Structure 1
Amino acid sequence: MHGNSPKTLRQDLLAQRKQFVASASFALKKAAVLTNLVRFIADWDAHIQSIALYCPIQDELDVRPTLLAWADSKAGKTLALPFARQDKHLDFYAWQEGDLLIPSRHGVLEPDPNNPRRPQVMPDCILIPCVGWSESRVGDKTHYWRLGYGGGYFDRTLAQLRKTKPNLLCVGIGFNWQKLNAPQWQAQTHDEPLDAMLTESGLLIKT
């Protein structure tokens, strides 16, 4: 375990991300991730009518322009943003550019759950930003895991949603340098696996 503390690991990764965003290589790698995102949603277009995305914080990659272009170019496609409930689960509400968003207690911009024009959505695909990520193999099976901010919101939400929507597609968004090895971090029993991981190298899919 990194410094005997996941908290220390997160702090180090967030500091590295700030430096990475300011580096000369960031623009090229950002463009590669977004290109791969466009390719992914084109390849999976027939299976995806609604995508839950996120409002970026702490130097997370902003995927909103890419997803807005997708939704605008396709009839019947819906975008949604997460709303954090008091019980540390997430609900998703339809979102369009220009909607009023409200900062949560964590500083994340969220939709207004009381907006009658933006109903709650059960997304087909959820895009989740990663502080770090890892890969594990058991026999011939490969799994991808997300290290987040430690609140457990996505893990609780995915565990619940997958019971009612087993074909839900959960995709982590990150960069190759954020990949962690086993001595640094290993997923815990309560962690929910990602269905795929999207980086500048392309889409890595769980097998």
Structure 2
Amino acid sequence: MHGTSPKTLRQNLLKQRTTFVAEENYAQIQACFMDHVNQLLTEEGKSWQSIALYWPIQDEIDLRSTLLTWAQNAPNRNLALPFAREDKHLDFYLWRQGNQLHPSKHGVPEPVPNDPKRPPVNPDCILIPCVGWTSSTSDGNRQYWRLGYGGGYFDRTLAQLRKQNPKLVCIGIGFDWQQLDDSQWSAQTHDEPLDILLTESGLKR
């Protein structure tokens, strides 16, 4: 990090996102985004039985309706939402439209653990919202990295889940303008890479 602290950078990006979603052409950008989400689900969603999504906050792109359609189009498909544990890891629980949720200490609606109607889920794919993102190249391979809200929940969780399921697919959800350069932010050793980054311009692998 050079010049700007991570906290200030996050604050600036969140303010910019609020302005961005209020612009007149945002509906068109949303439509493009959903087209790419549907493309992803058509190409790869057939091999997934469970997708962990996020409950949108602070002007994050809302994917719920598209994912509900995906889940309803075939038997045995499930959606899951994260629950934030005290040790700053995430567990995922079955979610269906209309299920009651409770706010976490961060104000994010989340499922309640130990509900027999909503058992834990080990997702095949996890969708993760980005506050910002960057890319790097190592040995000729490009990787994408997520700047989140600073709690480290997803990084800890992904590190553990990838040991249990090497085929787990982690997809960052963001906008093109959120891309950062090395003078603004670069991934740290504890940061977990994304398998795919999805923006309004398409899929980045």
**Pairing 1:149-160 to 2, within 5 Å after superposition:** 149-160=149-160
Structure 2 partner of 1:66: 66
TM-score normalised to the size of structure 1?
0.97
Structure 1 unaligned spans of 5+: none
Structure 2 partner of 1:111: 111
- Residue 93 in 1 paired to residue 93 in 2? yes
Structure 2 unaligned spans of 5+: none
Q: Is the 8 A contact 1:132 1:146 kept in 2?
A: yes
After the TM superposition, which parts of structure 1 deviate over 2 Å for at least 4 consecutive aligned residues? 1-4
Aligned-partner Cα distance in 2 for 1:37–1:46: 13
Residues 1-36 of structure 1, C-alpha deviations (whole Å, 9 max, x = no match): 354301110000000000001011211111111110
Q: Give the Å deviation of 1:126.
A: 0.1
Q: Is the 8 A contact 1:2 1:9 kept in 2?
A: no
Q: Is the 8 A contact 2:135 2:144 kept in 1?
A: yes
**Aligned residues: percent identity?**
61
Aligned residues: 205
Structure 1 partner of 2:80: 80
Q: Give the Å deviation of 1:122.
A: 0.3
Q: Is the 8 A contact 1:52 1:123 kept in 2?
A: yes
Structure 2 partner of 1:50: 50
Q: Give the Å deviation of 1:76.
A: 1.2
TM-score normalised to the size of structure 2?
0.98
Structure 1 partner of 2:23: 23
Aligned-partner Cα distance in 2 for 1:24–1:2: 33
Aligned-partner Cα distance in 1 for 2:157–2:53: 14
Q: Is the 8 A contact 2:131 2:178 kept in 1?
A: yes
**Pairing 1:193-204 to 2, within 5 Å after superposition:** 193-204=193-204
Q: Is the 8 A contact 1:103 1:110 kept in 2?
A: yes
Structure 1 partner of 2:185: 185
Structure 2 partner of 1:34: 34
